[in-house]
Amino acid sequence: MSVAENGRSLALAEELLAVGDAPLGERDLKQIRNLILDHLGCCYAGSLLAWGRRMHEWAAPHAGSGNAPLLASQTRLAPGLAAFVNATAAHGLELDDTHDESVSHPGAAVIASSLAIAAHHGLSGERLAAAIYAGYEAVGRVGAATNAAETIELGFHPTSLFVGFGAAAAAALLLNLSPRELARGWGLVLSMAGGSMQFSQEPEGTTVKRLHGGYAALHGVMAAEHAGLGIAGPEQALEGRYGLISNFGADSDPERLNHAHPDGPEIHRISYKPYPCCRLFHSTLDALAEVTDEFSMNPEEIESIVVGGPDIMVTQHMLRRPTSEMAAQYSLPFTLGAALYYGPSSVAGFMGEALEDRRTLAIADRVDAVADPDMQAAFPAHFGSWLELKDRNGDTRRSDVLDSLGTPANPMGRAELVAKFDSLTAGDNGLDGAEIAAMLEELHQMRLIDALLTPFCK
């Protein structure tokens, strides 16, 4: 039947679930292997941080409720709970992958949900890969159709708002739901979708942003499980009168739900993050590297820094005195100061006593941002910015970066992703990025995925 006869949500559900009907090609599998490798490193490292351990404490009373593993633990839980905790951990370092057009982090929830369900139900690596493909495609289509750039200006965080629909699509494929069951599952996600950007305006109370990845995973798995039991939501959750696009969009394009991007599947439109901060700052950090000769310049020689970027850089990211790690990672002035003194890839510059480092704060006081019409016009397809640095001698240096390191236009290779994994897991239980990457080469032949997760569950 046509989209008009079915409705857009149902037509999209049919398309996504059909992904499981045929093997994926090698190009798609290669990207999915990289996405899983990156996710596992982020999730394991996030699980060891203070908020990750608190989530494990919360989950402890539910131990034994299922066979889905918590990473960095021997605990097994029901799939929704494991996905919730693991996705929160994966989103907890500001290093998880991003889908630029939807301004969201799909991997934290989509991969965590897929791994939890596949492990709990004893499913294959081939089935896992198909689910991840479908989940990312759902996130990309939904975010683009709603117009994520406007959604975030309205005060909603796209990861919490959109990614639950991707997690539900992945779960539905793994659970063998029908297209109608998936569409009705999205109707359940619709009533749980949300996620305020208020965390970007306050120096504390920001841990909720970590939870946004977890909420998307929990809601997606729960919605798929409920729909499979006949606990249904409305079938036009995306395009309906009070659906996602109507409630949360502006200048939206509902037709995008049923049209693939001309550049190909959404899994190939993903940016990996080399720097532990808001994705919006990555081009700025690349520009800062250029004007400081790869951070060799003495920061004390800097008189001022001006950054031009999309509107939200000015409206949501100029907090100069963050008092929590999350707020620091979301602060443009603080991030530039931390990069100059700790290095752009260092997590330590945002943690503990580093939040009060007078050197970082002194740089933060010298940073200003302006909205640039060209960068705004390019956003969110490109998270570009320019940086202009004036030194104590009055000399000015400027760099413009449209596509930062890690984007499809300026990609990180497998070796760089392995190095990132190793930097996140160094010294922990013998984890080795090259070994995990080699294991992932056999993903499509794995009858069960237990062997892939076992090294992380101790």
Tens of pLDDT, residue by residue over 101-159, are 999 999 999 999 999 999 999 999 999 999 999 999 999 999 999 999 999 989 999 99
Tens of pLDDT, residue by residue over 304-345, are 999 999 999 999 999 999 999 999 999 999 999 999 999 999
Q: Is the pLDDT of residue 18 over 50?
A: yes
What pLDDT, on a 0 to 100 scale, did the predictor assign at position 458? 83
- What is the b/e burial string over 222-245, where b = at least 16 CB atoms within 10 angstroms of the residue's CB? bbbbbbbeeebbbbbbbbbeebbb
Average pLDDT of the chain? 96
End-to-end CA distance of the chain: give it in Å, rounded.
Answer: 49
CA distances from residue 58 to 34, 77, 241 in whole angstroms, order as listed: 30, 12, 38
Strands 302-309 and 98-99, sheet pairing: unpaired
- What is the b/e burial string over 133-149, where b = at least 16 CB atoms within 10 angstroms of the residue's CB? bbbbbbbbbbbbbbbbb
In this structure, whether the domain defined by 279-401 belongs to CATH 3.30.1330.120 is answered with: yes
What pLDDT, on a 0 to 100 scale, did the predictor assign at position 1? 43
Q: What is the pTM of this model?
A: 0.96
- Provide the residue ranges of all domains of the chain, joining segments of one domain with +: 3-274+431-456, 279-401
253 within 8 A of 198, measured Cβ to Cβ: no
Rounded distance between C-alpha atoms, residue 33 and residue 57, angstroms? 30
CATH fold group of domain 3-274+431-456: 2-methylcitrate dehydratase PrpD (1.10.4100)
Tens of pLDDT, residue by residue over 389-400, are 999 999 999 999
121 within 8 A of 66, measured Cβ to Cβ: no
Tens of pLDDT, residue by residue over 228-266, are 999 999 999 999 999 999 999 999 999 999 999 999 999
The DSSP code for 48 is: T
Confidence class of residue 2 from pLDDT cuts 50, 70 and 90?
A: low
Rounded distance between C-alpha atoms, residue 210 and residue 52, angstroms? 9
What pLDDT, on a 0 to 100 scale, did the predictor assign at position 427? 72
Run of H or E residues at 371: strand 367-371
Residue 196, exposed/middle/buried by CB under 10 A (0-12, 13-18, 19+)?
A: middle
